[in-house]
Amino acid sequence: MTKSNDDFKVETWNSKPTKGAAGKTGLWRTFRPIIDDDVCTRCEICALYCPEPCITLNPDDPSHEKGRMVIEYEYCKGCGICANECPKHCIEMVKETEFLVEEEEEDK
């Protein structure tokens, strides 16, 4: 019988769940969700609905007794589900091009 007398191995695609397995998906984004921290009640509905998930509550932030909602823009694809679900309508989807000018100025 042919036995494994060499290094050949059958290879399949098996990936362990890991952060950013498909790369920096934030690069796909056209609209950036911006949370208005003054209106936000920290209800965490956005975090619940985020399909990635890249919205989390930072409980140590001093801006509010519950902390502050933080969006991880490296992976946020800008799908807008958070803005759609927010009961306070305090997440605004802003065109990425607007930040481009800002960021260019920062670079200077």
Partner 1 sequence: MTVSDKSPKSIGNEEAKTFIISGNYAAAYAAKMARIEVVAAYPITPSTDCVEKVSEFVEDGVMGAELIKVESEHSVAGALIGASSTGARTFSSTSAHGLLYMAELVWWAALARLPVVMSIVNRELAPAWSIWAQTQDSMSLRDSGIIQYYCKNAQEVFDTLLMAYKVSEHEHVYMPSLVCQDAYILSHTNAQVDMPAQKDVDDFIGTYNPKHFILDPKNPVTHSNLSYPQHYRQKRFNIMESTHRAKQIIKDVCADYKKRFGRFHGDLVDTYGIDKKTKHIIVSHSSIAEEIELSVDMLKKKGYDAGLIRIRVLRPFPDEELRELCKNIETIHFIERAPSYGYKGIIAIDTMAALFESENRPKAFHHIEGLSGMDVTAEYAADLIEKDLETLK
Query: Mask: binding to partner 1, 17-36, rule CB under 8 A, as x and -?
Result: x---xx--------------
- Site for partner 1 contains 101 (CB under 8 A): no
- Site for partner 1 contains 97 (CB under 8 A): no
SS3 65: coil
Q: How far is the CB of 25 from partner 1 (least distance, A)?
A: 11
Backbone angles phi, psi at 107, to 5 degrees: -65, -35
The answer to whether residues 80 and 31 touch, using CB atoms and an 8 Å cutoff, is yes
CA distance 72 to 69: 10
Judged by the rule CB under 8 A, the positions of this chain that interact with partner 1 are 1-2, 4, 8-17, 21-22
